[in-house]
Structure 1
Amino acid sequence: MKLFMLKSLSLGLLTTAAMALSMTHAATQKDENIEVTPLQKITQQELAAIYVLSEVCPGLVKDHAKFEQGYAKLAQEYLPAENNAVSSLAKLSKEKKFKPILAEARTDAKKAGDAKNQEICQELTTYSK
């Protein structure tokens, strides 16, 4: 079940974020009151899955600059309280208690295969827009 959730997260993470961005942009175009739902608590597994994208994607995308922009935007959305979410994720990846979670995320990314990972990574290159 945990493996399925992480695979689903890695595939659905960017799609969900892109949809939320589109909905936010469309909503700001109207003069309506919008009910805002607070963000749910981010799990260590989600942060690990995001960090693993920084390891996997550079070898799978052509436009590294756009990937870096999309990755930075995604990381900042998950860690809005951090001044630099990318460096915060890098620091977290070195913490002893985070290493088993990160290892599991790496295994899940490996099991997903290059085709799925490339699809996710490619979506990140357009996420910065």
Structure 2
Amino acid sequence: MKKSIALRISSALLVVSSALLPVVHAADAKDMSENIEVTPQEGITQEELAAIRVLHEICPKLVAQDKAAFESGYSRLVKDYMPNESNPDEALEKLSKQKNFQKFLKEARADAKRAGDEQNRAVCEDVKAYKS
């Protein structure tokens, strides 16, 4: 199931790069003195993390009647992609505010827009049903 969702996310929302970024340093945009270290699971790219974050932006309106189920599935997905983080949702949110991550978010948003509502809704439904 995880592999299926990862493939759908990759194909629907981004062009997966082959470069691996083992360690990403992120800081809260509001508090630059607080640094967190985000260490994605081996093989997870910045593009994939951006695509997952974009799902959090677009899916609530696409699965409006079952936001709670989406949030639960999303949290499980983020935890699987960022297993070394004590609070993966918060870590990804902080990462999404970082200047060096914006280009990945911009690309993921453009990919989501190109994919259209029907394909995005299917990915959102997969995330909603996601079990670790």
Query: TM-score surpassing 0.5?
Result: yes
Q: Is contact 1:66–1:128 with CA below 8 Å preserved after alignment? A: no
* Residue 53 (1) aligns with residue 55 (2): yes
Aligned to 1:76: 79
Q: Deviations over 1:78-110 (max 9, x none)?
A: 000001111111100000000011100000001
Residues 44 and 81 of structure 2 are in contact (CA less than 8 Å); yes or no, is this contact kept in structure 1?
yes
Name the counterpart of 2:19: none
Change in CA separation of 1:69 and 1:102 when aligned onto 2, cut-off 3 Å: same
Residue 40 of structure 1 corresponds to 42
User: Structure 1: which amino acid aligns with 2:50?
Assistant: A
The list of structure 1 runs, each at least 4 consecutive aligned residues, that deviate by more than 6 angstroms after superposition, is: none
1:110/1:90 CA distance change after superposition, 3 Å: same
Secondary structure of residue in 2 paired with 1:120: helix
Q: How many pairs were matched up? A: 98
User: Which AA in structure 2 matches 1:48?
Assistant: A
Asked if 2 retains the 8 angstrom alpha-carbon contact of 1:57 and 1:121, the reply is: yes
- Structure possessing the higher radius of gyration over alpha carbons: 1
For structure 2, list consecutive stretches of 5 or more residues without a partner in the other structure. 1-6, 14-40
Quick one: structure 1 residues 56 and 10, their matched pair in 2 at CA, closer, same or farther if it must change by over 3 Å? farther
RMSD: 2.2
Structure 1 Cα separation of the partners of residues 8 and 83 of structure 2: 24
Q: Give distance in 2, aligned partners of 1:85 and 1:7.
A: 21
TM-score (norm 2): 0.68
Partner of 1:111: 114
CA drift of 1:125 comes to 1.4
Any unmatched runs of 5+ in structure 1?
1-5, 13-38
**Which protein is richer in helix relative to its size?**
1
Distance in 2 of aligned mates of 1:112 and 1:86: 24
- Write the distance in 1 (CA, Å) between the matches of 2:103 and 2:8: 17
Residue 63 of structure 1 corresponds to: 66
Change (3 A) 1:99 1:7: farther
Shift of 1:127: 1.2
Q: Secondary structure of 2:129's partner? A: helix
